[in-house]
Each structure stands twice: as C-alpha cells, then as structure tokens.
Amino acid sequence: MQKKCLVALLLFVTGTYFYSEVARFVKGSNYSSSKEDLALQAVQTRFQKVKAECGQICITEQAKTNVIGKGWYNIVRKPFSCKKIFNYDVFDSSTELEESPHKIPAFLYDEFTYQGRVHVSNMFRNDETPFSKYADWNKDMVQNLVTKIRHGIPTSSYGAKAYSSLKLAMHHTKNTGAHVLVIGSQKPWVEAMLLEQGASHVSTLDYSSIKCDHPQITTYTPPELTAAFLSGTLPVFDGVVSYSSIEHSGLGRYGDALNPYGDLIAMARAWCLVKDLGFAVVGVPTGPDHITFNLHRVYGPLMYSHLFANWQQVYTDTDINLYVSEKHRKRTYGGGFFHTIHVLRKNRTFFAL
Ligand SMILES: C[S@@+](CC[C@H](N)C(=O)[O-])C[C@H]1O[C@@H](n2cnc3c(N)ncnc32)[C@H](O)[C@@H]1O
C-alpha cells in the first residue's frame, strides 16, 4: 500500500513538472506559474482594448492597407481618432508582467509579425529603471553639452557619425524659436543639439522619470503627457525628434507594457501633438523587416510604411540596398543594427485627414 502511494506521488510530481515545462515551451516564454499565467491573460485583455481604440493605426493586413503612393516605401493613409489614441487607461497602463517574456507570446505573434511577414529572432534584455531611480539632468550638464556642440565637438551616445547624420537631417527642419518634443531619451544630447540650434523649448518624453532643472526643458512620462494632452495644457509642438527609441516601443525591454503596435501608436500620437506642416525626425534601425525580440525592431519597406502612415516623406539618408543586401540581412538576423534617419512632415491636406 505504502509502495503504491509512493508511486502515485512520484507520478503526480513528474506529471506536474512535465505539464509546466510543456506550457512554458508552448507559450514561448519563461513563465510557468499561475501568477504569470494570470498576468499574460491581463496582457491579452488589455490588448483587445488597444485594438478596439486604436482604429486603423493597429491594422497591418495587406488587404486592408490603403496605399496612396510610393516613396522610399509605400505611402499609407490611416484615418484615426487622436482623442481615442490618448485613452489613458488603455494606452498608458503599466506592464502586467514582472519582466518582458523572452519570446513573443503565441497570442500576439501574428500582430507583432504583420501576420507572419516579419522575421523574428530572440535576444533578451531588461533595461527597466527601478521606480526609486530617475535620471537627473542638471542645468550645467545640459549647458556643457550645448557649449561642446557650439565648439564643433560632436556629442552623441551613438558616436560622431550618428551626431552628424542627425545634424544633416535637421537641415530640413526649422528649429530656431521652435518648441520640439523629443521621444525617448536617456542622455540629453538631442535636447542639447536642439537648444544649440536655437529651439526656444524642448519637451522630453520617456518611459522613465527624468528630473531636470534646465529652464528650457520640460520632461514627461507617457501618463503625464497624456494627462496634459487631455486637459488641454500641452502645447502644440513645432516638431518631434526621436533617435534610437521608437523601435523599442511595446517590446517590454524598458518596463513598458507589451504592445505589438507600440511603435505605430507612438508615431500616431506624435502626429496628433505636432502642428500642421510640423516635422518629425526619426532615426531607427533599418534593414530587412525584422524583430529581435525583445531588443528592437529593424525597419524595412513593410514596417516603415506603417510606422510612418499619414506622414509625408521629406528626406532620408537610408541606402535602400540595406533592405535587400544579403550581408546586412545576416547581420540583422544576428542582432546587429544600423540606424538611418527620416525627416517627415505632417500635411493634413496631402492625406485628406
Ligand atoms: C536606447 S534608449 C536611447 C535613448 C536616446 N536615444 C539617448 O541616446 O539617450 C531608448 C529610450 O527610449 C525610451 N522609449 C522608447 N519608446 C518610447 C515611447 N514610446 N515613449 C517614451 N519613451 C520611449 C526608453 O524608455 C529608453 O529610455
């Protein structure tokens, strides 16, 4: 009898272990407990709300894509509601997960990959900033960067080439006297470039809190920016600049909530915040359409056409061969990346929006 009980117990323990391992494998993540299962269910529920509020911005099916012209990639028109895309509860809720999954959950796979048209590889990082920690940009630190730039010294977290590419792109925008929004910032080198070029004010948006006492810089987290937009206290911006940031939106790497359309929503929101004929300068990794989950996205002709939906194409330093070169494809699939820059214009008349 005792022997039978022991065998039954052994079978139960191995069975439970086997089941949890299979569940873990099927979900493509390292989640195995019921607590995390519940968290994934919460992601799924929130995502259904995102789809409902997001309108055409979150629709990527080929048959439903309204292509109205061809530039460096297809020019796509997607009518949507600015009011709905700033629905605080749906788009600005914090992550339900303790940590981003290491692989795309099965229920979001089609959405992340444009129905299987975007190649995926996996590399994991967790760069979430603890709640207790915020970036501290003091006035002198920003002013030192401005002075360096004024003396012709390139300042960038990505080397001199990134600095000069961004500067070249900014020849297509009018920054003197402008109020510009920077999306994604850990060190204020883009802010310093804008101030050096005569911007009257820079607002910075980042998932992490940034403390800054420079009189010409205001910082926001996404919930703070949304609250200001909804209360009508947010200024209308002359333009937006974002370098090496939007490609991360919605991948969970920075503690943000998992969202296959985080990048498309960030650009749609930027469109709402900028005045008509205002600009966007955006630097993201370019190559064959690809996601290195959860590190970043790499944009090719498919993902660019959706990322920049409703924006008029003005300038790029992208070599279109990057989309198809075999060497670059291998590099991209292996986790390598190379930023290029686009300058875009909001033009309501052109898109009949
Ligand atoms: C790779 S870091 C680089 C930031 C910037 N290029 C720099 O040099 O300081 C990316 C940053 O973008 C932020 N980020 C990405 N998408 C964002 C979004 N949609 N809204 C706010 N912050 C975002 C992340 O929190 C992170 O701090």
Q: What is the three-state SS of 292-353?
A: EEECEEEECHHHHHHHCCCEEEEEECCCHHHHCCHHHHHHHHCCCCCEEEEEEEECHHHHCC
Q: Is 132 within the bounds of a domain?
A: yes
Helix (H) or strand (E) holding 276, with range, is: strand 274-285
**Is residue 83, in this structure, part of any structural domain at all?**
yes
Q: Which residue's CA is the closest to the ligand 1 atom numbered 22?
A: 206
Would residue 2 count as lying in a domain? Answer: no
Write the CA distances from 14 to 138, 160, 184, integer angstroms: 57, 57, 47
d(Cα 241, Cα 208) in Å, to the nearest integer? 18
Is residue 228, in this structure, part of any structural domain at all? yes
- What does the alpha-carbon distance between residue 77 and residue 185 come to, in Å, rounded to a whole number? 29
Q: Label the pairing between strands 74-76 and 274-285.
A: unpaired
Q: Report if residue 67 sits inside a domain.
A: yes
pTM value > 0.85: yes
Kindly state whether residue 17 falls inside one of the protein's structural domains: no
Tokens 């990134």 — which residue? Answer: 162
Contact of 219 with 149, CB cutoff 8 Å:
no
Q: Is 187 in the pocket of ligand 1 (CB under 6 A)?
A: yes
CB of 211 closer than 8 Å to CB of 137: yes
**CATH number of 177's domain:** 3.40.50.150
Asked if 297 and 113 touch (Cβ cutoff 8 Å), the reply is no
205 Cβ inside 6 Å of ligand 1: yes
CB-ligand 1 contact for 249 (6 Å cutoff): yes
Residue nearest ligand 1's atom 16 by CA: 249
Containing domain of residue 189, as a range?
29-353
d(CA 244, CA 156): 12
Closest CA to 34 of 23, 44, 43: 23
Spatial separation of the C-alpha atoms in residues 53 and 33, rounded to whole Å: 31
Does 251 contact ligand 1 (Cβ within 6 A)? no
254 inside domain: yes
User: In 3D, which of 26, 20, 24 has the Cα closest to residue 107?
Assistant: 26
| Most informative mutation of 248, 264, 269 for ligand 1 (most atoms within 8 A of CB) | 248
259 lines ligand 1 (CB under 6 A): no
Per-residue pLDDT in tens (0 to 9) along the chain, 353 residues: 556 655 555 555 454 444 444 444 444 444 456 888 999 999 999 999 999 999 999 999 999 999 999 999 999 999 999 999 999 899 999 999 999 999 999 999 999 999 999 999 999 999 998 766 789 999 999 999 999 999 999 999 999 999 999 999 999 999 999 999 999 999 999 999 999 999 999 999 999 999 999 999 999 999 999 999 999 999 999 999 999 999 999 999 999 999 999 999 999 999 999 999 999 999 999 999 999 999 999 999 999 999 999 999 999 999 999 999 999 999 999 999 999 999 999 999 999 99
Tokens for 351, please give them: 């898109």
Domain count, the chain: 1
| Helices and strands (H, E) in the chain, number of each type | 13, 14
Q: In angstroms, what is the span from residue 5 Cα to ligand 1's centroid? A: 56
Displacement of CA 238 from its chain's centroid (Å): 21
From the CA of 186, give the closest atom in ligand 1: 9
Around Cβ 167, how many Cβ atoms within 10 Å?
15
Q: Give domain status of residue 21, yes or no.
A: no
